[in-house]
Homo-oligomer: A and B are copies of this chain.
Amino acid sequence: MTRRQDQGGTATWTTEVLVIGGGFAGLEVGRALGRAGIPTMIVDRRNHHLFQPLLYQVATAALSAADVAEPVRKILRRYRSVQVILGEVEQIDATLCRARLGGGEVISYRHLVLAPGSGHSYFGHDDWAAHAPGLKTIEDARSIRSRLLVAFERAERCTDPEEKRRLLTFAIIGAGPTGVELAGSISELGRLTLAREFRTIDPASIRIMLIEAGPRILSGFPEEMADYARDRLARRGIEIRTKTPVEHIGPEQIRMAGQSIDVGLIIWAAGVRPSPLAAQVAETDRGGRAVVDARLLVPGFSNVFVLGDAAACPDAEGNPLPGLAQVAQQQGRHLGRALVAHIRDNRPLPEFRYRSRGNTAIIGRHAAVFDHHRFKLRGWIAWLAWALIHVYLLVGFQNRVLVSTQWLWRYLTEDRGARVIDGEVAEKAALQKGPSSDA
């Protein structure tokens, strides 16, 4: 176990390994170290590990927050040598091997594993954040869900046709997997679920725009799969605008290609920015990711590792690996094992090799793409494979049962369960106050 001391009112802990972040990477490191009984502290700003690949389903009212979140300390509870701390690391002094928490406590470590993940990047337009929420946390998902459902509620109540049209126009910026999944899921929510329940909304009047600055959607996938996805999305009535950088985002308005469009909701799925903690211990690349070698080690140190979204780790060709959940998970597993052998038997640290298990993007009911080298699936079978894989990857047996039950239920009924509009948003909408007032 870790030791604690009180020195002049400030608590100081000492631990063999300090892991910062309880995401896919940090959790795997913690597991490996815990299994070996090595004293470890895991610090995270949230009490829960988040299964981010399904977060868009929380944002579109298909799943509950608790279905995709599991407490970090519950996942690691069997490992007595691992202590989980809800806290925010404010400063790292890698030379002195110390990290300081927001409350002033100091953690003194022998090895540091930095896996803090990433937030949104608005490419220098931080003022856009207020009008175009991104999707990284439970609160992001709840906020998008509330705004989405409130747009429909307001439209139902609205008697001005122009305002009604605006309320039912949704803009998603960024056509990577998250953007595509959000567009598909919102379209189904509107067409299948909500259309049955509203009296004054014509489902055909719901307008969904998927906006991408690059030349095509799903740039990480082969072109033929992106074409398939594009075709499927278009059949569902989703407008795709590629080569269209967004010029301005205001409250309920978006400008692109010189044209302003009034919208009911804007969602940001375009850019991520690694946690600024990475820059405290390492050189960063253009995207803000810490440059590490293939052992995940920060050059110049023998005990500081960065992995996951915050790391620019080279692949076999020397190109940095993408910020994917499976990259983070494999890095965590690799480093966990490597550290155990290193700490116990002083073994050298091996290099990390990424093995892609395939990429998926879900378009909607019965439609998805799955890409794994020569093995490419699309349509029904990719959709089923996606569902099975994601349920399997969920942490916690209860979550698997609950998510499966809900998916099966939704599939059979074309319904959604988790349609709670949160308090503050509901109150504003009820009073019709705020920028989109009808009055």
A-side residues, CB < 8 A to B, are 1, 4, 6, 11, 45-48, 64-67, 69, 71, 73-74, 77, 80, 83-88, 101-105, 137-139, 149-150, 153-154, 156-157, 159, 196-199, 396, 398-399, 401-402, 405-406, 409, 413, 415, 417-424, 426-427, 429-433, 437-439
Contacts and interface: CB of A to CB of B under 8 A. Distances in A.
B86 A429 contact: yes
Nearest to A426: B46
Q: Tell me the interface secondary structure of chain A in the complex.
A: mixed
A73 B197 contact: yes
A139 B426 CA distance: 11
A231 to B, nearest CB: 32
Contacts of A104: 432, 438-439
Contacts of A149: 47
B66 A196 contact: no
A47 B159 contact: no
A406 B417 contact: no
Given A405-B401, A405-B405, A88 B430 contact: yes
A103 B418 contact: no
A103 B437 contact: yes
Copies of this polypeptide in the complex: 2
**Which 6 pairs, one residue from A and one from B, show the smallest C-beta to C-beta distance?**
A103-B432, A102-B431, A66-B418, A139-B423, A86-B153, A88-B430
A71 B197 contact: yes
A398 B104 CA distance: 47
Given A45-B430, A65-B420, A398-B413, 11 more contacts: A1-B199, A45-B426, A47-B421, A64-B64, A71-B197, A83-B199, A86-B153, A86-B156, A103-B432, A103-B433, A138-B423
